[in-house]
Amino acid sequence: MKRPRIGVFKFTSCDGCQLTILNMEEEFLELIDIIDISYFKEAIDRPLRGIFDISIVEGSITTNRQKEEIADIRERSRSLITIGACATSGGLQALRNWASLTSYKEYIYPAPDLVDALSTSTPVSDHIHVDYELWGCPVNREALSETIKSFLMGKKPTLPRYSLCMECKRKGIPCLLVSSSDPCLGPITKAGCGAICMIFGRACYGCFGPKDDANIESLMRWFKDLGFTQRDCIQLLDKMNSYAYRKVRLEQGH
């Protein structure tokens, strides 16, 4: 049987999610026996060629060149999966969406005109059809493995879409929001990280993005009752998944 061709692509990002593929270690060594990683710039010296059975995309779309590239990759791909907060929700760099690009460029570059950058950082799904989105900043290694294997078997992965609170409760961690009045994004955030912050007594800061039907406004009211200002509340949402949280909020009419 012909081994399925896999491509790994990078847009605007930190490389952490594609590194997670290499971090699968022994499992990765097993995978390369049954798949053909045909394109993966960070790991293989090979040009871009042909059609891919599965394309794995990291990073957000932030330049004109990338808009064309992502369309080309879609045309070459039977299935396309995005991995990480940048590819699924624009990433931290989407904070520019709520600011002036010119001032951002001028703050960093002496000759800002030389820099090609769109005024927005957007998720891949704003540009092309995406078959599956894997959330997280970075993505979880086990979830990534489950996702790749599911696609190889021709099925959709079964990853949780409920809130982080479920994961936290199951681990028996006392609720930080209730017990220490910490502004925890757990109630509106997808499970998947393993509640690693709460284990350390730290409030969730939203690496995995909004869960299905997140009631953001209700949580914001709670934060305000705890003494946080409107600006504080927005800043709590405006992190790696700022674009996704804001979108849900707008859709709910706030």
Partner 1 sequence: MNRVIKIDYLSRIEGESGVYIEIKDDSINVEMRVFEAPRFFESFLKGRPFQDAIDFTARICGICPVAYQMSSVHAIERIFGIQVDKPIRDLRRLMYCAEWISSHSLNVYMLHGPDFYGLESAWAGKEYLPILKKGLSFKRLGDEILTIIGGRAIHPVHIKVGGFFRAIDLNHLKGLIPSLQRAYEDSLKEIKWVSTLRFQRGYNEKVYVSLRHDEYPMNYGSVISNKGLNVSMEGFLGMIEERQMVYSTALHSKIKKDGDLQPYLLGPLARLNNNYMCLPDEIRDVIAASGINIPISGMDKGIIARVIEIAYALYESIKLIKGLDDINVLSKEVQLCSGSATWITEAPRGMLIHHYELDDTGKILNCRIIPPTSQNLAAMEMDIRHLVELNKNLDKTRLKGLISSLIRSFDPCISCSVHLLN
The residue ranges that bind partner 1 (CB under 8 A) are: 10-20, 22-23, 25-26, 29, 32, 37, 40-46, 62-63, 66, 91-93, 95-96, 99, 103-105, 107-111, 114-117, 121, 137-138, 193-194, 196-197, 199-202, 205, 207, 235, 239-240
Residues contacting residue 93 through CB under 8 Å, at least 6 positions apart: 12, 60, 62, 86, 121
Provide, rounded to whole angstroms, the least separation between the CB of residue 221 and partner 1.
21
Amino acid at 205: Y
Provide, rounded to whole angstroms, the least separation between the CB of residue 91 and partner 1.
8
**Do residues 58 and 11 make contact, with C-beta atoms less than 8 angstroms apart?**
yes
**Do residues 90 and 238 make contact, with C-beta atoms less than 8 angstroms apart?**
no
Provide, rounded to whole angstroms, the least separation between the CB of residue 138 and partner 1.
4
Nearer to partner 1, 20 or 88 (CB): 20
Q: How far separated are the first and last CA of the chain, in Å rounded?
A: 53
Nearer to partner 1, 178 or 212 (CB): 178
Nearer to partner 1, 14 or 148 (CB): 14
Distances (CA, A) of 110 to 96, 102, 106, 113, 117: 19, 12, 7, 9, 15
**Residue 162 phi, psi (nearest 5):** -80, 180
Nearer to partner 1, 63 or 145 (CB): 63
Nearer to partner 1, 51 or 199 (CB): 199
Provide, rounded to whole angstroms, the least separation between the CB of residue 43 and partner 1.
6
Distances (CA, A) of 111 to 13, 66, 108, 114: 23, 22, 9, 6
Nearer to partner 1, 103 or 218 (CB): 103
Nearer to partner 1, 1 or 114 (CB): 114
Distances (CA, A) of 70 to 74, 124, 194: 6, 8, 31
Q: In this structure, what DSSP letter does residue 196 have? A: H
Provide, rounded to whole angstroms, the least separation between the CB of residue 4 and partner 1.
16
Provide, rounded to whole angstroms, the least separation between the CB of residue 198 and partner 1.
10
Provide, rounded to whole angstroms, the least separation between the CB of residue 249 and partner 1.
19
Tally Cβ neighbours within 10 Å of residue 32.
Answer: 11
